[in-house]
Amino acid sequence: MEFDADDRLVHQTLAGDLKAYGALVDRYRKRVYNLAYRMLGDRERAEDATQEAFIRAYRGLRSYRPSARFASWLFSTTSHVCIDHLRRRPFAAVSIDEPGVRPATAEGIDADPPAAYGRTETQAQVHHALGRLPDTQRLAIALVHLQGLSYEDAAEVMGCPVGTVKSHAHRARTTLKRLLTPQFQECVP
């Protein structure tokens, strides 16, 4: 249903309707931005990358085939843009830009300040830990755990076999476990 609507908007865009592309950007702006944010680390770069991804997608719209899902195709473009950015400069979380420091007001965080502090603190820790993963592992985690994609869809986005995505995700989770719970570290008997 949602995908049919995407394809219709793609079709209208190709026919020269710029408003249709605006509607596509509105639909996916938040998801693309969040993917870029977790990949790159800070909001300013995420904004640049999001803009770049949508411009690149527009230019390449003729190569999009409705047999693939528009979302997967767009995330794939976004991933490429992020990887390009990361080649120039690695992941860098700007602490003043963390959700923990400037929590979103819509979340009703003021209702329970100590709990909210703990939660946002954890969020910042997780965000920083993500930055210590290799880029492809972070991408797999961002697609599967943050964007909620199936391993199959994530594989389509990353252009690699499902097994490869799983192994990226497994390694990433094992590393994150070590980074986020160091106090419990023990040798395996």
Partner 1 sequence: MTCRRVRAELNRYLDGDLSDERRRGVREHLAACVACAREWEQLRGVAAMLEGLSEVEAPARLTESVLDAVGRERIAEAPRQQALTGLALAGVGLVLSTAIVVSLAGWGPLDLSGWGAWAASLAAAGAKQVAVAAEVAGPVLNALARGRSGPLVWLLAADVAALMAVLAGARRLLSVKRLRGLTNMLAM
Instruction: Report, in Å, the least distance between residue 113 CB and partner 1.
Output: 16
Instruction: Report, in Å, the least distance between residue 4 CB and partner 1.
Output: 22
Instruction: Report, in Å, the least distance between residue 71 CB and partner 1.
Output: 15
Residues at the site binding partner 1, with contacts judged by CB under 8 A: 16, 18, 21-22, 25-26, 29-30, 32-34, 37-38, 43, 46-47, 50-51, 54-55, 58-59, 62, 99, 104, 106-107, 119, 122-123, 126-127, 141, 145-146, 151, 166, 169-170, 173-174, 176-177, 180-181, 184, 186, 188-189
Do residues 42 and 35 touch, judged by C-beta distance below 8 A?
no
Tokens 């830009």 correspond to what residue? 97
Which residues have C-beta within 8 Å of that of residue 97, sequence separation ≥ 6? 42, 43, 44
Torsion, CA 49, CA 55, CA 58, CA 59, rounded to 10: -110
Instruction: Report, in Å, the least distance between residue 20 CB and partner 1.
Output: 11
Distance of alpha carbon 26 from alpha carbon 14, whole angstroms = 17
Distance of alpha carbon 62 from alpha carbon 70, whole angstroms = 12
Closest to partner 1 by CB, 2 vs 121, is 121
